[in-house]
Amino acid sequence: MSACPNAATATVDTAAESADPCCAAPLPVLGRDVTVPLVTGGEVTYAALDYAASAPALQRVWDDVAAYAPYYGSVHRGAGYLSQLSTDLFENSRATVAEFLDCRPGDQVVFTRSTTDSLNLLAATIPADCEVFVFETEHHASLLPWRDARVTYLNAPRTPAQAVETLERALAERDPYGPALVCVTGASNVTGELWPVTELAAAAHAHGARIVLDAAQLAPHHPVSVQELDVDWVAFSGHKLYAPFGSGVLAGRADWLQDSEPYLAGGGASRKVARRADGGVDVEWHTTAARHEAGSPNVIGVYSIASACKALTEAGFDSLVARERHLIAKVREGLAEVPEVRVLSLFGDDAPRVGVISFVVEGWNSSHFAAALSAEYGIGVRDGLFCAHPLVRTLLGSDPQDPGECGAPEAAPGERSLNAIRVSFGAGTPDEHVERFVGAVKELVRDGAQWKYRTEDGRCVPDRG
């Protein structure tokens, strides 16, 4: 059965691409022509430079979803044509994601709501005596789900080698020497720096531990191979992979998933439910990925992830990575020309990274600076602690008790605040957006903001009074 009659088959338009991969055209994304008003007057094309929070939908993904939408139906048990077609599309999407991640035979691909949901699911499956090891540098999605486990939090390393050494030492010294799980990011959502995943996986396995990779910031920028990295599980979100339709993925080894109680109890997770003679209920649960997918699944969200996986694969990660390095160099070189700007880094300037860069500006409240970029230049960045509070506090050299929180600065415009500014970009970012950003940073530092700003509900906004 065809997965979707008349489904969109749009591919990347390569007519404008250069033979030089770093000069390849950006992939078409939804909203690329949206204009926004400036507080100083007029309008400008919006420069979306907050990809690390949520990336815009690829046009290819939107077209595929729109083509499928009239054929939407419930999955797995419907006898009607649309239900059967949707079931076929849903399960084919699972196979597409498994191929995109280069999963091992026997691995399961479970569809969730997000990376956070995926890691909370895994946290619910770990053995009762399992100890979890996680660096303080992690996003809260990786740092916080392990509430029912013994957790060892590792200090921020300053080199990739130190990360491996720190983990090896902690695993070797664990007492009791029982089951263990390591949770680590592939690319930092604050600094963009790549972590030594292969080496960390080898260290984990050498000490009888398993490892889960938070690939939320890695998968949109670099190929992720479960087999080459030798990780046990990988988690990522659709909304960072150019498929912002409310789905995520947990993929990897089946045993812990099969041996645990279902993440949610309900229809779809159960194979058989029967009343007992004593009046109770007996339940036989699925042993497949369906065990943890109770309820009606987000078919459109799942299909959008599969569409994005195909689009990125067809575009070619070699070309995507080369173009992104070109953009990273433009931003870093531009910021380096402004003495008042300090770029945040764990591993140093030469560390490989994805298109995520955080910085602070001397004499500026970071929320004030971000607000001015938006209101006066039409540039969307992010300010705050980026749901990685311990890491940002470490990078800023602050005391753990200093005031400040994610997205809600304590300081007034113009005062120092415990937060930072993050610019992030990816496959859909044109050169003009990063060039405008660099130019705006230079102008704001040199000339100051053109408008007055005030704090309202924890956010810095233009004062229109």
* Nearest-angstrom CA–CA distance, 232 and 229: 9
Question: Which regions of 80-222 does DSSP assign to beta strands (E)?
Answer: 108-112, 131-135, 150-154, 180-185, 209-214
Cα 287 to Cα 128, 269, 270, 292, distances in angstroms: 20, 9, 9, 9
Is 387 known to be catalytic?
yes
AA identity, residue 73: G
Which secondary structure element, helix H or strand E, spans residue 163, and what is its range?
A: helix 160-172
Which residue is catalytic, options 130, 387, 406, 460?
387
Closest by alpha carbon to 14, among 389, 320, 388? 320
AA identity, residue 69: A
Closest by alpha carbon to 134, among 188, 170, 160? 170
Terminal CA-CA length for the chain = 61
CA torsion, ordered 216, 217, 218, 220, to nearest 10 deg: 90
Question: Which regions of 276-416 does DSSP assign to beta strands (E)?
Answer: 281-285, 341-343, 356-361, 379-380, 382-384
Token pair, residue 25, equals 């055209």
Residues near 282 by beta carbon (within 8 Å), at least 6 away in sequence: 272, 273, 274, 275, 276
For residue 176, is the peptide bond before it cis, meaning its omega torsion is within 30 degrees of 0?
yes
Residue 397: other Cβ atoms inside 10 A? 7
* Nearest-angstrom CA–CA distance, 121 and 289: 12
Active site residues: 387
